[in-house]
Chain A
């Protein structure tokens, strides 16, 4: 069964067709064509070069790092990399665009067709795996920002963003539900963050989407689409699609027609409104930028880009379930975010090293710790948790003690709490705070003997077949040991003393 997201209208079911153009800010120290810095949040107009301000006679010079990041991104989505590409000027007047044109790539983009896999996720509304086609990726300059709240009658211009490199990642109209669009944005963001070509920070505007939506009766031709600009969260992307699809359906069912237009999303009212129609769309007068030579990429450059690619989300996930034997769920959660897998892999390596075991041998333990135990403790501590103490070596030390039976699961949590609060050494905590399991067979044996002596009747019952009583002896021994006995040792000793299980 393929995706069956349908909207029920007055005249029957409607299918939604979605394409996304995602603008992703390229991670680089300096802008696409100038050496000005790109840091977010700087004072207005402190990161502006003569080129960005379009001073007379100033010329753009391409930043190799931005080109490299776009190529690496293209490779990460299995796209065709165009050895020849070039920059075009998109001409229009606006106060946030000093040159009077944006340098972009219309005719010859740097990256051609590629694809992104959306894994099946029933809960998220993706019933089966689906491949979303990518049309192209091109590089372009960002514009500056107008500030309308600084002066009663004037608008101010901040050019800090002006000239920052963006990748425009254009999907094919392959998505059919808000869920797919949401999953697509999340997956794309994950890939960009793996590659390191964009920080994916949607709140700061590092990633924003233009959402193209049309509706049709299933099986019919594509309808007329609208484009909602600059949507800056996954939730809003999904909301725009739902709202816009419903608006179009109502319009059509009321006898109207959808006009091709650009719309703006208002998150406060959760609705889109028309910005401009196709009729008053700009004529951008694109033409090749004569200040810039065509980009011709050498094979050695491409090789360098390819070699620098990390393991990507799909491959990593497959390795986690295959090689490491993790569950699909754990693998999916661990690979979704760069920070998560990075923390996991560091801890896995550290733990495996300490224990002298293979990664696969400790992976499940480390995954459980990473995904459930540790976050639980951190959450329960709230403000008290000092995350700077949350080091891989501290975590690994705890896991090591737990693995060897030196401490129990409960003790591990307690030690972890103290580590997070104080940064003390886990082994020292275990010693000092008495948070260790008693594995001293002598001491345990002594207690067992007392327990057995005091419960002769139960011993008889056990030996005559009531094997469920084993738990009773374990419980009493543990209690006598104040919970600090190593349960494994207790089990072994009890078994030896009670004799083999009657069955």
Chain B
């Protein structure tokens, strides 16, 4: 193979890099250097809060040394990745894109990031996100908005990269990371993946340990991979997943080799099309992509069946009660006492310190959700809101349990629209929350789901399709994703302007 230049190297995905390093086509160091340079040149995307080129090089050198001495290489060996800044990384600032954690340097490593390093991956840096993963456009970060690498055909106007994993989606789409970690609470992997034309997988709740991941809503938070191919996601997910005794909610199940078992032959499989997802006002191009998706899956041998998930319309309101409720409690620990920001006005007491620290340290969206969450848990409102939402959640989950009698996976749009302009929805939180309308039901039910690129819309912006599967059936989800990927022929990439 001809030696590749840096631009060529950064076009490579996870498997290509891993295999290329293993076979000696290039060194892990060459890869790391190429991506470090790409990160540096892409500052205008604001995808990174902190770049860690030395970490990437250190990991790369370890892989090159291991290869030189004939040792076995890990499944992510030589692959430098971006780490969403919600994962605690030992010795490297971890902020959740907040002011309150600015300067916080953990003395410990999250389980998921440790597993990735153990698999041979290196860290390019800590990726920007919506503050505490709350947002759908990466406009709530204390460290500034992330800008999507995508632009409308013939326009210089910016677009959002989605959220909350907006730094992850932007950097993978822009080829400054071959892959990145994301976390998905109510769509935070799938929606930004859809907005930027990449693949994002939210596994079954509990597949990936939450230990060391800054919590947003504990019963929903789930880490997953974001990359440019289904196979790359499958490889990376395997490296991230697994039982962790440090997380009581983690699944004590074996981790399959999803990548090896990928199979786009869907003969004998049924794909459910939930009629409730055909909502009024959905972008016609989104509906068009959905139709194409059905065709592709039918072409792959699957039978397309109409199904019903009757409680779908209650899922979003229930989500926006449960997630803030948990967040209001999870974020109570940021109080200025032990770490992070402390604002202690002259002569102030404890309550003053709390008020000053939290007023200063949290952004508006985070405060909004803390207020909502505090309200719905308050005496007198608990039953009407939180308890009711939990009942809805159970009904949403039951909808899915029943539908699995009729189909193996569900196909739906990932988002109701393509990416929008910065600020377009910032003044209307409810409109912003609607971004998650298709993503949230699977989150509430804890099901594996993914977004896979389908097409570009008329403006030249990516649209994604969502696949939702049975509990623990990431394989079924990714097989369907692969079938779409093979037929969609999505090769578009953002033209470099940054």
Which of B88, B247, B337 is the one whose CB lies under 8 Å from A95? Answer: B337
Contact B249 A93 (CB under 8 A): no
C-beta contact mask, A335-364 vs B, less than 8 Å → 1, else 0?
000000000000000000000000000000
Q: Check B309 for interface membership: any CB of A closer than 8 A.
A: no
Quick one: given A291-B248, A293-B248, are A55 and B329 in contact (CB under 8 Å)? no
Contact B329 A59 (CB under 8 A): no
Specify the chain A residue showing the minimal Cβ separation from B215. Answer: A57
Quick one: given A285-B377, A290-B217, A293-B248, are A57 and B88 in contact (CB under 8 Å)? yes
Which of B110, B332, B339, B382 is the one whose CB lies under 8 Å from A57? Answer: B110
Contact A55 B106 (CB under 8 A): yes
Stretch at the interface among A96-104, A371-379, A443-451, A475-483: A96-104
Which of A57, A93, A287, A291 counts the most chain B CB atoms within 10 A? A57
Q: Check B482 for interface membership: any CB of A closer than 8 A.
A: no
C-beta contact mask, B154-166 vs A, less than 8 Å → 1, else 0?
0000000000000
Which of B101, B217, B328, B338 counts the most chain A CB atoms within 10 A? B338
Stretch at the interface among B205-213, B226-234, B398-406: B205-213
Q: Check B379 for interface membership: any CB of A closer than 8 A.
A: yes
* Contact residues of A between 250 and 296, Cβ < 8 Å to B: 283, 285-287, 290-293
Contact A59 B332 (CB under 8 A): no
Contact A93 B332 (CB under 8 A): yes
Give chain A residues whose Cβ lies under 8 Å from the Cβ of B421: none
Give chain A residues whose Cβ lies under 8 Å from the Cβ of B377: 91, 285-287
Specify the chain A residue showing the minimal Cβ separation from B390. Answer: A288
Specify the chain B residue showing the minimal Cβ separation from A92. Answer: B332
Give chain B residues whose Cβ lies under 8 Å from the Cβ of A157: 337
Which of A100, A101, A157 counts the most chain B CB atoms within 10 A? A100
Q: Check A189 for interface membership: any CB of B closer than 8 A.
A: no
Give chain B residues whose Cβ lies under 8 Å from the Cβ of A37: none
Which of B212, B337, B350 is the one whose CB lies under 8 Å from A58? Answer: B212
Specify the chain B residue showing the minimal Cβ separation from A93. Answer: B354
Give chain B residues whose Cβ lies under 8 Å from the Cβ of A93: 332, 335, 351, 354
Identify the A interface with B (CB < 8 A): 50, 53-62, 89, 91, 93-95, 98-101, 155, 157, 283, 285-287, 290-293
Give chain A residues whose Cβ lies under 8 Å from the Cβ of B4: none
Instruction: Given contacts A155-B350, A287-B377, A287-B382, list 7 more A-B pairs with CB under 8 A.
Output: A55-B338, A56-B333, A57-B106, A57-B215, A94-B350, A98-B333, A285-B379
* Contact residues of B between 318 and 334, Cβ < 8 Å to A: 325-326, 328-329, 331-333
Contact A100 B247 (CB under 8 A): no
Contact B248 A290 (CB under 8 A): no
A101 → chain B closest CB, angstroms: 6
Give chain A residues whose Cβ lies under 8 Å from the Cβ of B328: 91, 285
Quick one: given A56-B104, A283-B378, are A62 and B248 in contact (CB under 8 Å)? yes
Q: List 30 A-B contacts (CB under 8 A).
A: A53-B338, A54-B333, A55-B88, A55-B108, A55-B339, A56-B94, A56-B96, A56-B101, A56-B106, A56-B339, A57-B87, A57-B106, A57-B215, A59-B210, A59-B211, A59-B247, A91-B332, A91-B377, A93-B335, A98-B333, A98-B337, A100-B335, A285-B374, A285-B378, A286-B377, A286-B382, A287-B325, A290-B219, A292-B249, A293-B248
Give chain B residues whose Cβ lies under 8 Å from the Cβ of A94: 350
Quick one: given A61-B246, A61-B248, A291-B249, are A101 and B350 in contact (CB under 8 Å)? no
Contact B333 A99 (CB under 8 A): yes
Given the complex of chains A and B, what is the CA–CA distance between A53 and B108 in angstroms? Answer: 13
Contact A59 B246 (CB under 8 A): yes
Which of B329, B350, B351, B379 is the one whose CB lies under 8 Å from A89? Answer: B329
Which of A56, A100, A286 is the one whose CB lies under 8 Å from B88? Answer: A56
A242 → chain B closest CB, angstroms: 34
Contact B245 A95 (CB under 8 A): no
Quick one: given A287-B386, A291-B249, are A50 and B333 in contact (CB under 8 Å)? no
Give chain A residues whose Cβ lies under 8 Å from the Cβ of B219: 290
Given the complex of chains A and B, what is the CA–CA distance between A56 and B333 in angstroms? Answer: 8
Given the complex of chains A and B, what is the CA–CA distance between A161 and B465 in angstroms? Answer: 51
Give chain B residues whose Cβ lies under 8 Å from the Cβ of A55: 88, 106, 108, 338-339
B85 → chain A closest CB, angstroms: 11
Contact A57 B210 (CB under 8 A): yes
Given the complex of chains A and B, what is the CA–CA distance between A136 and B107 in angstroms? Answer: 40
Specify the chain B residue showing the minimal Cβ separation from A287. Answer: B377
Contact A98 B338 (CB under 8 A): yes
Q: Which 4 A-B pairs have the closest CB atoms?
A: A100-B332, A290-B218, A290-B219, A285-B377
A297 → chain B closest CB, angstroms: 15
Contact B329 A285 (CB under 8 A): yes
Contact A290 B88 (CB under 8 A): no
Contact B249 A100 (CB under 8 A): no
